[in-house]
Amino acid sequence: GAVVSQHPSRVICKSGTSVKIECRSLDFQATTMFWYRQFPKQSLMLMATSNEGSKATYEQGVEKDKFLINHASLTLSTLTVTSAHPEDSSFYICSATDSPRGSQHFGDGTRLSIL
Amino acid sequence: GQSLEQPSEVTAVEGAIVQINCTYQTSGFYGLSWYQQHDGGAPTFLSYNGLDGLEETGRFSSFLSRSDSYGYLLLQELQMKDSASYFCAVLYSSASKIIFGSGTRLSIRP
């Protein structure tokens, strides 16, 4: 159980394009979802915390208008990278939890490459 | 602020035992988790310690001392497939969010 599906797994697109990444909890209702970014050989950096039906809470230094997060249901959260540029190229990973302080279940990640 | 420290690299021999340490400085600490990540993959959950002591799951064990703000992951009977990055992560009491350490790259040699 506790499967999180993230789609797409890889995106290559031109600078200026907006990219949407989906994160779905397949067999549980996710009260909270998290979005991380990971650069090569570095740790996962928390970008934002998303609760269903409310605005996402962004970490310091993360641009809200650049990284739009929507958590429309208990099983789906989306991250949209707006007007992406090469410096936005990274590995984006979502996770979900079904209870406060529960363990987080990670999606397989999305490798975003902006040309 | 919040900070976690763990060694950047560890090398061990197949079949041996290795311990990866993690120290943390944080407010609102609730528990310490460990995650494994292979190159190109997503993190997978290994263990969680909410209380002091040792938690054992097969070949992997994790330890926590809240008074020392210290924990470790112990891997026994190392296998080549254990070569990966291992992250300690602190769970905060509010919002159930976690902050990851910088990761320890474990290399296993025959």
Q: Mind telling me how many Å the CA of A18 is from chain B's nearest CA? A: 23
CB contact set of A98 (below 8 Å; sequence gap of 6+): A2, A25, A28, A29, A30, A31
- Please, which pLDDT band fits residue B77 given cuts at 50, 70 and 90? very high
Lowest average pLDDT, out of A5-14, A40-49, A93-102, goes to A93-102
Task: Quote the CA–CA distance of B78 and B87 in Å, as a whole number.
Answer: 17
Q: Which of B30, B33, B101 sits opposite A103 (nearest CB)?
A: B33
Q: Nearest CA of chain A to the CA of B99: how many Å?
A: 7
Between CA B69 and CA B83 the distance in angstroms is: 26
The separation between CA A100 and the C-alpha centre of its own chain, rounded to angstroms, equals 19
Which H helix or E strand runs over A91? strand A90-97
Q: Please tell me the predicted confidence (pLDDT) of residue A52.
A: 81
Q: What digits encode the pLDDT tens for the residues A96-107?
A: 987 765 678 899
Answer yes or no: is pLDDT of B30 > 60: yes
Average pLDDT, chain A: 91
Measured CA to CA, the distance from residue A16 to residue A113 in angstroms comes to: 12
Give chain B's mean pLDDT. 92
Report the residue from B96, B100, B103 with minimal CB separation from A101.
B96
Q: Residue for token digits 């190392």?
A: B78
3-state secondary structure of A4: strand
For residues B37 and B55, give the distance between their C-alpha atoms in angstroms, rounded to a whole number. 20
* Chain B environment of A101 (Cβ under 8 Å): 30-31, 91, 93, 96
Burial of A2 (0-12, 13-18, 19+ CB in 10 A): middle
Q: Does residue B104 register a pLDDT over 70?
A: yes
| A108/B41 Cβ within 8 A | yes
Burial A43-78 (b: 16+ CB within 10 A, else e): bbbbbbbbbbeeebbbeeebeeeebbbebeebbbbb
Q: Residue B97 pLDDT > 90, yes or no?
A: no
Are residues B97 and A100, on separate chains, in Cβ contact within 8 Å?
A: no
* A30: confidence class by pLDDT, cuts 50, 70, 90: confident
- Counting residues of chain B whose pLDDT is more than 90, the rounded percentage is 77
